[in-house]
Structures are given as structure tokens and as C-alpha cells.
Amino acid sequence: MERESLEMDVVFVGAGPANLSGALHLARLVARHDEEVAAGKKQGEPLGEIQIGVIEKGAYVGAHILSGAVMDPKALRELIPDFEGQGAPLESPVTNDSFLYLTKSRAIKSPITPPPLKNHGYYVVSLNKLVAWLGEKCEEAGVNIFPEFPGAEMLYDERDAVVGVRTGDKGIDKEGHRKANFEPGVDLLAKVTVLGEGPRGSLTKQLSQRLNLNEGREPQVYSIGIKELWELPDDRYPAGSVTHTLGYPSDAQTYGGGWIYGLRNHVVNLGYVTGLDYRDPLLDPHAEFQRFKQHPFLAKLLEGGKLLRYGAKTIAAGGYFSMPRLYADGVLLVGDCASFLNAQRIKGIHTAIKSGMLAAETIFDALVAKDFSARQLSGYARRVEESWIMKELRGVRNFHAAFSRGRWLGLANAGLQFVTGGRAWGLFDRARAEPGHEVMRKLTEYGYRGDDITQRYEGLRFDGKLTFDKLTDVYHAAVGHDEDQPAHLHVLDTDICSTRCAEEFGNPCQRFCPAAVYEMVEDGAAGRRKLQINFSNCVHCKTCDIMDPYQIINWVTPEGGGGPDYKGM
């Protein structure tokens, strides 16, 4: 097939906070360098027109961006010192913090807010709006942004050096045939490609496997955050109010916690995080969130309110020990796909922005040196190592892994870390992490009898006022995919679904997917149930790629522009 090739200098894959910050910082470094060389203030050659591109699978910058979010502004201040003056879309400064322990019927307020959850001086933000604003800054600085361009494949030379990225084809029907509007993807050739795809990036997964970037690291562990925006009838939860919760509805073996952030105009943003290293095969993160809202404290808060929006996204929680090698020939990893999130503070926007800036400084040096080898690009790992990112992540290096022994030991560890400088339970430098799909137990191992897969959530009803089923929630994520295209969820062996998985795990994809994509339906002829994939519901959270116990689900990018629309989320 004839494909167009486009020569760029640097291509950033994914228009998230890390990549947009990186692209903006790089454009400014190049412009300043050339100005200083021209003015005789600096020796060397001008770099001239450096082509910087950002590709994004969503329909616009921010379409697929979902986060809590309370932002530590430290890195944004380094990138744009007067971001407030320049009109950064900030919902509100944090005005008060509280921390609640939830039992089934009570909300016990902690007399002190744990230091990692103190948010004074920070901002409640919509990350969707923030990245849209960063995108505008990038365009003003001369960066080319290509929405609706999913990165489908990495391009390598004969030495396995990355030489760019191939974008996805458009106009293929569900049988795999070309439609009238067929357009082949473009080969974007670049001296350096920067992957900032967020958690469980599909290209990052390909690259890491091919180049062994995770060798010697702990496996990445993930959580899933499920979020809704609600409009309240009055100002009962003012803008800037921040609450975090622990306890109900998670059981003591499952990592989980909730958040409630006050936005402007009587809107609250609330959500629930469930660790994707749970044991119970019948656990359903979306149902956990519905139970969270049924707690008397939440139910009272939301009384008379109205659901506005819904979204779900995974969080890479492994941190320091799960960090892959950050560079190879012609490529760098930034943001969540490089494991820069601080799980203890539930914050990753500041580390993402900073990582993008450090990547930009490294690429700038590489452009000056005309050397894009792994040796030259290793300067990025050195910069990260010497930056405040690593200081911050090293201090909490065992935070998530310590919860593998349950809530109470995890919490004890979180407290002990302060005096031991990050050791696990005060003893070990490195606690072992297990990938979530290996942690999930089979139905009988977990103690279930019979094949009733609804038993964990017996009694949970979706009343359409406080609690909603997945399809109603998906409607509020404004998801859209052209239905006449091949499914972007590749299940390598669907026979396993009807046989082993049904028996051993009760088809957990029906539960861990927060968007009702996977459904087991009657297969009349065979007298058993078969998998149906409702791919057009997919909110691109990547949970299935992570949690499938047989690791036979491969999430790939659908046609550009498809997916959720997280406007204002």
C-alpha cells in the first residue's frame, strides 16, 4: 500500500500534559537558542525550522483526557511562571481539605489531614480544559497538532532504532475492507519520538516488549478511577473543597478510596479508585463506585442533584520501581506511561509536566549535537534522576506495593515511610509488586460456590437518580465510534471465554470493564455462551488490556476521533 511519509524532527504521541509541556518547552528552547545565536550571545549554529508535531487519537486536544484532579502547580509554574495571569483554566484554589474514614453507615472525620493529602496552595482543575489551553500555547509557539491521528505502530530502522510512528488507517469497514473514504495512515518520520500515551499506552506496550524496557523492573500495577460530575441544587459543597475517603465500600483486602472536589457553579466532581490488583473475581469497579454514592454521607450530599458527566480511566500506580527504561535509540517515555505518578498523593500532573520539560531539554541537546542515539538520549534519565521527581517518588517507592497485604498493613507502611525514607514496613528497600491479572483468584479459590456471578452485589439497584447502570453512564461519557470499523479490542482466543474463563473466573471482563463493552450472550447452536464485544461503548480506559486473567485482550487504537468526549471533565 502506498503511504505518505512526512518528515518531522520530533513527534510527540498523545496530547496529554506531559507531551504538550514537552512540545511547548522544546519550541521555546529552539527559538531562544536561535535568537541568542543570531544576536551573538551564544556560539554555535542556529537550529532553524525544527518541525515539532503532536498526534492525538481524540477528536480534539483533551477529548480523551480524564483526571481527578487537584494539581500541584509546581511544574506548571516552571513551564509558565505566570500561568494564572495567562488565563490557565483553574476551577478554584483548594480552600479546605478533609479526610474521612467511611464505615458502612458512618463518615468519621480524621482530626488531621494526612500530610500527603494536604492540598493547600494547589488547584482543583479540569485536566481536559487545562490540556486544551496547553494545546493553544503549543500552537502559538509553532507546534503542529494533529487531532484524530492515532499512533498505530512504531517505526524502526534495521538496528531497532525508533524512526517515527505510523498513524492508523481510516475508512476500513468491520469486515476489514476499504470503504469509499479510505485513507491510509501516514508514516511520520522523526529524529526523536516521544511517547506520552498515559497509562498502558498501546505503542508503549509494543515498544517495551520489543526493546525489553521493563527488564529488571517491578511489573506495573494499576488502579481504575471512575468519575462523575454532578450539579447540586445549592452551594452545599463550595468550589475548592476537597475530601478524600478511605474504607467503605472496599473490603480490607482491596485497595480503594474516594474523592469529592468542589467546582464552580454548584458542580462537584466525585469518584472512586479501585486497585486493579484485587482478588475477588466478582468485583466490579463501577458497582463499587455506585455503592460509594449510596453511603449516607454521599447520598445526602448528592440529594436533589443531577448527573452531568461520566468517565473512567486507569492510573499507573507502580511508581519508582515500575519505571521502565526511559529512553532508547530515537525514543523517550514521559508522563504516566513512564510511571511518574505519585500514588500516595494521587497526583501525576505535576510530574507529567516536569517529565515533558526534561525530555524537551534532552531533545534540544540532541538536536544541537545531531545525535539521537540512546547514549545521547540517556541524558533524559540522568535529568529525571537529578530532578525533584525522583526525590518525590523515591520517598514513596513502596506505597502501593505495601497494600498487597491489605489495607491496614498498607496504611501502617504509608505512615512508617516518613521515618524510614520509603522502606516497606520499615524493613525492606523494595516490596514485590504483582501484576493485577495474576492476583485475581478463581471463583472457587475465592470461596464462591455456584455460578451466580451477581452475588457480590446482591441488592445493588440502579435507581436512575443516585445510581446508574453502565449504559446510562456511558451515555454521559458522550462516547462515539464509527460502528462500521473493525473492533479495536482484539481477543486472541474467544474459545477461552466460553470455556475456561466462564468456569474459572465467571468472565470478569463483564465486570472490570466500566462501559459494558464485554457481554456473554447465548450461543444457540453451541448451547453455551459466547463473547460479544460492544466496542463502540469503549471509553479507552485500558482496564481490559490490564486485567484479563489470560492476557488475551489487546487494546489497539480505533479509527481517529472515536472514543469518549471528556469536555469539561
Site for ligand SF4, rule CB under 6 A: 489, 513-515, 517, 538-544, 555
Question: Closest separation between CB of residue 418 and ligand SF4, Å?
Answer: 35
Residue 178 host element (H or E): strand 178-183
Compute the Cα dihedral for 249, 72, 473, 509 and give only its sign: negative
Q: How far is the CB of 274 from ligand SF4 (least distance, A)?
A: 13
Annotate 481-496 with three-state secondary structure.
CCCCCCCCEEECCHHH
Task: Residue 262: name the closest of 311, 318, 301, 303 by CA.
Answer: 301
Q: Are 228 and 265 in contact (CB under 8 A)?
A: no
Q: How far is the CB of 481 from ligand SF4 (least distance, A)?
A: 10
63 to 69, 113, 307, 477, 544: CA distances (angstroms)? 16, 33, 19, 10, 21
The minimum distance between CB 279 and ligand SF4, in angstroms, equals 19
Nearer Cβ to ligand SF4 (70/273): 273
Count Cβ neighbours within 10 Å for each residue of 205-224 and write b for 16 or more, e otherwise: bbbbeebebbeebbbbbbbb
Bridge-based pairing state of the strands 151-156 and 162-167: antiparallel
Helix (H) or strand (E) holding 473: helix 470-475
Cis omega before residue 88 (within 30°)? no
Distance CA 319, CA 531 (A): 34
Whole-number minimum distance, CB 307 to ligand SF4, in Å?
18
For residues 246 and 493, what is the distance between their CA atoms, to the nearest angstrom?
A: 38
Considering the complex, what minimum distance in angstroms separates the CB of residue 270 from ligand SF4? 20
- Residues 479 and 540: beta-carbon distance below 8 Å: no
Least Å distance, CB 556 to ligand SF4, is: 11
Instruction: List the grid coordinates of 361.
Output: 531539554
Between 352 and 515, name the residue whose CB sits nearer to ligand SF4: 515
Is 5 in a helix, a strand, or coil?
A: strand
In the chain, DSSP finds a helix count (H) and a strand count (E) of: 19, 26
CA angle at 55 for the pair 67 and 315, rounded to the nearest 5°? 25
* Residue with Cβ nearer ligand SF4 (200 or 325): 200
DSSP reduced 3-state for 330: coil
The least CB distance from residue 291 to ligand SF4, in Å, is 19
Tell the residue number behind the cell numbers 460530575, with chain if given: 229
Residue 544: CB minimum distance to ligand SF4, A: 3
Q: With respect to ligand SF4, which residue has the nearer C-beta, 53 or 271? A: 271
How crowded is the C-beta side of 298, counted as CA atoms within 13 Å? Answer: 31
Specify the DSSP class assigned to residue 237.
Answer: S
CB nearer to ligand SF4: pick between 341 and 541: 541
- Alpha carbons within 13 angstroms on the beta-carbon side of residue 464 total 0
Write out the three cell numbers for 371: 545525535
CB closer to ligand SF4, 247 vs 285 = 285
Cβ closest to ligand SF4, residue 66 vs residue 211: 66
Peptide bond into 249 cis (omega under 30): yes
Q: What Rg value do the Cα atoms of the chain yield, rounded?
A: 23
Taking the complex as a whole, how short is the minimal distance between the CB of residue 509 and ligand SF4, in angstroms?
A: 7
Whichever of 165 and 489 has its CB closer to ligand SF4, that residue is: 489
Rounded Cα distance, 526 and 499, in Å:
12
Nearest approach in angstroms of CB 277 to ligand SF4 is 16
Closest distance to ligand SF4 from the beta carbon of 273 (Å): 15
Burial 247-258 (b: 16+ CB within 10 A, else e): bbbbeeebbbbb
Q: How far is the CB of 146 from ligand SF4 (least distance, A)?
A: 23
Q: Which is nearer to ligand SF4, 222 or 399 (CB)?
A: 222
Cell of 565: 468526549
Nearer to ligand SF4, 326 or 538 (CB): 538
Length of the chain: 569
CB of 199 to ligand SF4, least distance (A): 11
Please say which residue, 26 or 541, places its beta carbon nearer to ligand SF4. Answer: 541
C-alpha cell at 456: 457480590
